[in-house]
Each structure stands twice: as structure tokens, then as C-alpha cells.
Structure 1
Amino acid sequence: MSARSSFRTLRDEMARRIAERRWPPGALIPGEEALAREFGAARATVNRALQELARAGLVERRRRAGTRVALHPVREARFVIPLVRQEIEGRGATYRYRLLSREEPSPPEIVRARLGLDDGVPLLRVRCLHLADNAPYQLEDRWINLDAVPGARTADFETVSPNEWLVENAPFTEAEFTFRAAAAGPEEAAVLQLRAGEPVFVGERITWLRERPITLVSMIHPPSHRMVTRL
């Protein structure tokens, strides 16, 4: 980076290091002088970039104690991504999880368009089923941007759902939510133990870390599903 690097460039680079866990939650990051030398930027530019990260909830700044990566970055500062396990157990039911598939296919154009990604950017698709008292509760169909979250390629989704793994490993700064009714296709109906064409409740969510998309997920529920939100 040159001395003319903008605070946005520095901010985005530091946010990338946090997302990739080069600076893990709770880590003390280098001081302003050290960062200014590394980036070839003015100390004031570094300070402004850190202020932006603090406002986004990615770091915590304290006088004489330095700057640390937030232990629960962004999720608590902006919005809490719900954990399906907690939803189910909060209803007094027994939670179970089943991985259905994971692959790195060429995604359909609509997925790339929703995420705003060019051809060639690697995406991981993970499909899994969450169960409550052994009954299908949610079919999770998720695309993960491996450029933004490279650790997802080797994550153990056999035992931990991508929902839980991403909450712990991929902080975000923005999210978009969509809710709609739909008719179950043959594959969805088979997994959710419904008849093809039976109505389902679909929630979709996209998250970003600054300008970089992290994941697009479709959460498909049987028609009996009720969504409850507390603000």
C-alpha cells in the first residue's frame, strides 16, 4: 500500500484479516504506529480506519489498553444471527442435525447475481437438515463465498452446521432478509416429509463484510412453522 492509501482501503484490509481470523476474536492488534509503517500511511489515516471498525463493532478500543478484535464481532453490535439449535432447544425439543451434501459446483447465474460475484469466484454449497424431536424443522441450503471465508472449505460440517460455524467464524457488517411463501419442489418435499407442491415458509439471508459478500442461505420450513422475533 502507498502513502496515499485511503482509510477505506486500510479499513477493508483490516476487516479482511478479522474475517479470515488472522486476527482472531480477542486478539490485540498492532498499534497505530506499527500499522502506519506497514501500510505506508499516515497515523491519522490508520486512526480513522480503526474508528470505522470500532463503529461497526469489529474491534474494541480502550485507552492505554490498545485495540482488540471484538469477542463477538458485529453480531451483537448490529443484529443477532439466530442459531437453529437454540430455536429448537428453546421450544423444549431435542435438536438433531444432518449434513445432506457439500460441493463446489458452478453456481446458477441467479446465485452469482444475488451475491454480486463474477465468474470464477469459488463458492461452496452446503445442504443440511435441522430436526426437532426427529421431525424435519428446517432445510438449510447455503452458498458460501470461499474468497471471503476460505476456512469454510475445510470446516467439519458433518458435526457442526454451517449456521453455527459461520456465526463463530465470519463476522458481518450488513445483512439482507427476505421472507416468502413457496411451493415445495420434489427434493424439498422429500427432505421435509411433505407432498410436492405443499406450501413451505422460506427465509433468505445474505450477509456482507463491508463490500464483500459472505453467504446466501435459503431456510425452508414446513407450513406449520412460526417465526417469532424480539427487538
Structure 2
Amino acid sequence: MNSWQEIHDEVLRRIHTRQWKPGDLIPNETDLAQEFGCARATVNRALRTLAETGLLDRRRKAGTRVTLHPVGKAVIEIPLIRRDIEDRGARYGYRLISRQIGPAPASIRAALRIETGTPLVHLLACHLADARPYLLEDRWINPAVVLGAETADFTRISANEWLLTHAPYTHGNLTIAAEPLPPQTAAALQVAAGDAGLVLTRTTWDHASAVTTVRLSHRPGHLLHSTL
């Protein structure tokens, strides 16, 4: 075996067939490299990939064990709102409500870990499905990280779509909650203030630099679909 993928698959086979049972200490990288006839770096990549999925527990000086209680990990991609609406069989529409550039409130500064007075691009926009409000996008963009955000024409394209093609990111965090919709949000979505809506709050990063934080508020009854 001379590819990390072949070694990955063989280690996975041994775990699934219980040749290596949960909690077992597996051979070290040097021994596995000798067994498979490959470089130690190749074994390292295979084991690292399996550790990232939660199947192996790797500890420095303690070796690598098959995870006793493996926890599955889900990967959630940032969806293109336009495509999400079209996939539901509806006609997509978009309306920019407001755009401002200036300092952010304390909660946004904390989410993006920026200093007081740092200017951000603040956008409020409504996405439509068959001319009916679908969700409200309340977004803050860090123009120091996202070049072109200050001059981009967000009346023609949503920040959601523009950022997916202009702003790479390495990681982020996502919070999903059912919350009473405040008056401004409820008015934009054409529902009663206080109605419970599904709210997604997401912040993305490019390594140590914050890219954007957004609050996506859906109308009551919205269903979120994901693949595990």
C-alpha cells in the first residue's frame, strides 16, 4: 500500500470488523509504515483523517486508540439562498432594505473580535419566494478582510451570493434557535411581532480574521433540511 487512501481504507476495515476494537491501542506509525511498505508520513495522513472523523483518538506520547465512544461529525455547507428557494420550486426574489458603513454594536464586535470603532459594512436584505418574504438577512462584513465589500453593488446581488464567490473562509460557527421575532424583523417578513421564527446566526473566519457574521430570520413554520 503506497497511498494514504489505501491505508485509510484498511485501517477503517480493521475497525469495522473489530480486528481493532473500541479502546484498543493500535500499532504506532513506524510499525504501520513498515507493515504497509510506505512512508511514515503517508500513515500519518491516513490516521489523521480518521481522527478528524472521530474514529481514532490520537494523543502525544500515549499513542493512537480506537475511540471508545465515537461521535459522528456533520459537515454543514453554507447554502446559496437563491438556490435553496429555487430547489423548493419557488421563484427567487431579492430586495436590499438598507446599507450602512460604520462602527458595530458591542455584540457584533465581540462576535468578530474586533476593536471599538472598526468600520463594518452592515446590510439588511429580504429574500423572497414567489414574491413573498422568505427570510431576512441581517449581515455585518469586515471590509478589512473582504476586499471590495465597501463598493460591491448589493442591490443587484445578495451578500450571501457575493461572499460565496469573493470571500474564502476556513471555518466558522453556527447557532440555530427558535426565537420570537422582534417588530422590525416581523414586519419585514409580514408576520406578527412575537411569532416564533427559525433564526440562524453564523460567523465565518479566514484563519484568524473574521469575515462576516449574519443573522438569518425565517418565517414561522420554516423547515431546515440537512444531510448527515
- Normalised to the residue count of structure 2, the TM-score between the two structures is 0.66
Please give the alpha-carbon distance, in whole angstroms, between the structure 1 residues aligned to 2:76 and 2:180: 29
* 1:173 corresponds to 2:192: no
Q: Kindly name which structure, 1 or 2, has the bigger radius of gyration based on alpha carbons.
A: 2
Q: Which of 134, 157, 174 in structure 2 is aligned with 1:160?
A: 157
How far apart are the structure 2 equivalents of 1:227 and 1:79?
Answer: 12
Q: Which moved more, 1:112-121 or 1:124-133?
A: 112-121
AA partner of residue 81 (structure 1): I
Mapping 1:12-161, distance limit 5 Å: 80-161=77-158
In structure 2, runs of 5+ residues without a counterpart are 1-74
- Post-superposition shift, 1:79? 5.4
Matched residues, number: 155
Q: Is the 8 A contact 1:123 1:146 kept in 2?
A: yes
1:106 offset after TM fit, Å?
Answer: 2.3
- The aligned counterpart of 1:5 is none
* CA shift in 2, pair 1:226/1:87, >3 Å: same
SS in 1 for 2:168: coil
Q: How far is the alpha carbon of 1:107 from its aligned partner?
A: 1.1
Deviations 1:84-133 (CA, angstroms, capped at 9, x unpaired):
00000001100000000000132110110111111232211001000101
* TM-score of the two chains, using structure 1 as the length reference: 0.65
Partner of 2:27: none
Higher-RCO chain (CA-CA 8 Å, sequence separation at least 6): 1
Secondary structure of the 2:193 match is: coil
Query: Match of 1:151, SS?
Result: coil
CA RMSD, aligned part only?
A: 1.4
1:228 aligns with 2:225: yes
> Counterpart of 2:87 in structure 1: which amino acid?
G
Q: Deviations over 1:120-153 (max 9, x none)?
A: 3221100100010111111000000111013110
Uncovered stretches (5+) of structure 1, i.e. residues with no partner: 1-77
- C-alpha deviations, 1:59-78, integer Å up to 9, x for none? xxxxxxxxxxxxxxxxxxx7
Moved over 3 A (4+): none
Contact 1:121 1:147 in 2 (8 A): no
The percent of aligned pairs where both chains have the same amino acid is 45
